Amino acid sequence: MPKIVAARVIVTCPGRNFVTLKIECDDGTTGVGDATLNGRELAVATYLTEHVVPCLIGRDAHRIEDIWQYLYKGAYWRRGPVTMTAIAAVDMALWDIKGKVAGLPVYQLLGGACREGVMVYGHANGTTIEETVEVAREYQRQGYKAIRLQCGVPGMTSSYGVSKDRYFYEPADADLPTENVWSTSKYLRVVPELFAAAREALGWDVHLLHDIHHRLTPIEAGRLGRDLEPWRPFWLEDATPAENQAAFRLIRQHTTAPLAVGEIFNSIWDAKTLIEEQLIDYIRATVVHAGGITHLRRIAALADLYQVRTGCHGATDLSPVAMAAALHFDLSVPNFGIQEYMRHTPETDAVFPHAYSFEGGMMHPGDAPGLGVDIDEALAVGYDYKRAFLPVNRLEDGTLWSW
């Protein structure tokens, strides 16, 4: 039995901040877990160092479920993004260790591959509709089968999802939160035009996705869904804030556009009503923010009963460690839908050498034992943590809105 003898938290900033947990066992086996919570990184790092690591020492690394229960129930204070991200990091690292000890990639421990590869979607964004469609064409040429479309809103100086850098998108862009301005009415006019132009240029074989990023009321989301129906969106993401799960009933009454939600969920309880009432089609909870592989499997199992499929979050603030864990999960879960994929920068990829690969719009976690990803600590130490916040959003009259 591999006994945990040490665990440490590594904070590094190869272009953006990442928090990584590395667990070491008495037989020399190590495992890594992602603990990055964008804009709140040091809260999780401290939670792990002060409140989790001391409780891990001496434990049997093979007892993944028991350690999960210990950290969840044992804290008394359940759920929440900081707690669940910390538990996720431990969980990922323990699956990594179990895979290495068994000499098997983690997806084999989860029941083996259910498919040949994992369909991913890339992000096409541009200031104008034309620019966005041009970028989407480029993704299509690279073999992507699914593309998310976001474009600038005329009359607005900044828009969610539209980056300054054409190749890499990074919203956590400042030492204090950037202030953006939002107009729902202007936005609602441009998105159907974007989808019409995209279908005309890209055809009907490619899946087209869109992220609303929690900015609409349920009735506005219903209207946008209806307007987009002729262009057959693969999904509309985060149509409205989901703290009130029942809000999605109203959206469902008005549109058949498939709905995805949950990148900020951290527990099965965040999605219970949404899943049981079949108010969504895709659940976006991720390994890193929803309690690791162990808890995400539980969410997926509940979702499977109601024909809800998975669509894990996969933005650049999820490190290659989380990406690897997501791909093992995706390959092995019966009700997989799609996986988000945003390229990391070359600096990030160098700090996190990984076995996963992309080809023709599909990804595969690789067959290295464990998660097939590591952190190059010698390289990581050269990149100091840099405070970075996500933006905030205000209506044109100054009212604070959802970003």
What is 99-128 written as a DSSP string?
HHHHTSBHHHHTT--SSSSEEEEEEEEESS
* Whole-number Å distance between alpha carbons of 396 and 148: 26
What is the closest distance, in whole angstroms, from the C-beta atom of residue 165 to ligand EZ4 in the complex? 14
The reply on whether position 263 binds ligand EZ4 by CB under 6 A is yes
Dihedral angle over CA of 222, 298, 321, 120, nearest 10: -40
Distance between CA atoms of residues 337 and 303, nearest Å? 11
Cβ at position 102, least distance to ligand EZ4 in Å: 32
The 211-240 contact track toward Co ion, x by CB under 5 A, reads x-----------------------------
Name the E strands within 167-231: 179-182, 207-211
Stretch that binds ligand EZ4, among 17-25, 83-91, 309-317, 391-399 (CB under 6 A): 309-317
Contact 198, 174 (CB under 8 A): no
User: Which entry of 107, 160, 356, 383 is annotated as an active-site residue?
Assistant: 160
Taking CB under 6 A as the criterion, the residue among 211, 220, 281, 374 binding ligand EZ4 is 211
Work out what residue 364 binds among ligand EZ4, Co ion, none; the CB cut-off runs from 5 to 8 Å by kind.
Answer: none
Please choose, out of 1-9, 92-100, 208-216, 298-306, the segment that lies near Co ion by the rule CB under 5 A.
208-216
Query: Catalytic residue among 210, 213, 328, 344, which?
Result: 213
| Minimal distance, residue 36 CB to ligand EZ4, in Å | 9
Pick between residue 288 and residue 303 the one whose CB is nearest to ligand EZ4.
Answer: 288
**What is the C-alpha to C-alpha distance for residues 95 and 110, in angstroms, rounded to an integer?**
10
Taking CB under 6 A as the rule, does residue 171 contact ligand EZ4? Answer: yes
Task: With contacts defined by CB under 5 A, name the span among 157-165, 196-204, 210-218, 274-282 that binds Co ion.
Answer: 210-218
Q: In sequence order, which residues have a C-beta less than 8 Å from that of residue 169 and are 6 or more positions away?
A: 123, 125, 161, 163, 315, 316, 342
Q: Compute the CA torsion angle 359, 360, 362, 368 (nearest 10 deg).
A: -10
CB neighbours of 127 closer than 8 A, spacing ≥ 6?
151, 152, 162
Instruction: Give the one entry of Co ion, ligand EZ4, none that residue 317 binds, where binding means its C-beta sits below a cut-off of 5 to 8 angstroms depending on kind.
Output: ligand EZ4
- Among this protein's residues, is 160 annotated catalytic? yes
281 binds Co ion (CB under 5 A): no
340 binds Co ion (CB under 5 A): no
Per the annotation, the verdict on 383 as an active-site residue is no
Residues in CB range of 171: below 8 A, 6 or more apart: 160, 390, 391
- Residue 315 interaction partner, one of ligand EZ4, Co ion, none, beta carbon < 5-8 Å per kind: ligand EZ4
Q: Phi and psi for 253 in degrees, rounded to 5?
A: -70, -20
Sole window of 129-137, 217-225, 290-298, 312-320 interacting with ligand EZ4 (rule: CB under 6 A): 312-320
Contacts of 400 (CB under 8 A, 6+ apart): 392, 393, 394
Q: Is residue 288 within 8 Å of residue 265, measured between CB atoms?
A: no
Q: Which residues are catalytic?
A: 160, 213
Enumerate binding residues for ligand EZ4 (CB under 6 A).
38, 171, 211, 213, 263, 313, 315, 317, 340, 390
Enumerate binding residues for Co ion (CB under 5 A).
211, 263
